[in-house]
Amino acid sequence: MNTKLGRRRIAAVAALVTFAAGVGATTQADATAVPPRSAAPKTVEVQMIGDASGYKFSPAKISIAKGDKVKFTLVSGPPHNVVFWEDSIPKGAAAKLGKAMTKTVGPLTGPFLLNTGDTYEISFTGLPAGTYKYYCAPHLALGMHAVIEVK
Instruction: Please report the pLDDT score of residue 6 as a whole number.
Output: 52
Instruction: Please report the pLDDT score of residue 2 as a whole number.
Output: 56
For residue 2, give its domain range: 1-34
Total domains in the fold of the chain: 2
pLDDT band at 20 (very low <50, low <70, confident <90, very high): very low
Pairing of strands 61-64, 145-150: parallel
As a whole number, mean pLDDT of residues 141-149 equals: 98
Let me know whether 70 and 21 are in one domain.
Answer: no
Higher pLDDT, 138 or 9: 138
Instruction: Determine contact, residues 52/46, Cβ cutoff 8 Å.
Output: no
Let me know whether 27 and 84 are in one domain.
Answer: no
Q: Which amino acid is at 76?
A: S
Residue 69 burial class via C-beta count within 10 angstroms: exposed 0-12, middle 13-18, buried 19 and up: middle
Higher pLDDT, 132 or 18: 132
Q: Which tens digits make up the pLDDT trace of 32-43?
A: 444 454 678 899
Let me know whether 68 and 4 are in one domain.
Answer: no
Residue 113 burial class via C-beta count within 10 angstroms: exposed 0-12, middle 13-18, buried 19 and up: buried
Average predicted confidence (pLDDT) for the chain: 84
Let me know whether 55 and 118 are in one domain.
Answer: yes
Q: Which tens digits make up the pLDDT trace of 60-100?
A: 999 999 999 999 999 999 999 999 999 999 999 999 999 99
Let me know whether 29 and 48 are in one domain.
Answer: no
Instruction: Please report the pLDDT score of residue 28 as a whole number.
Output: 46
Higher pLDDT, 124 or 9: 124
As a whole number, mean pLDDT of residues 9-16 equals: 47
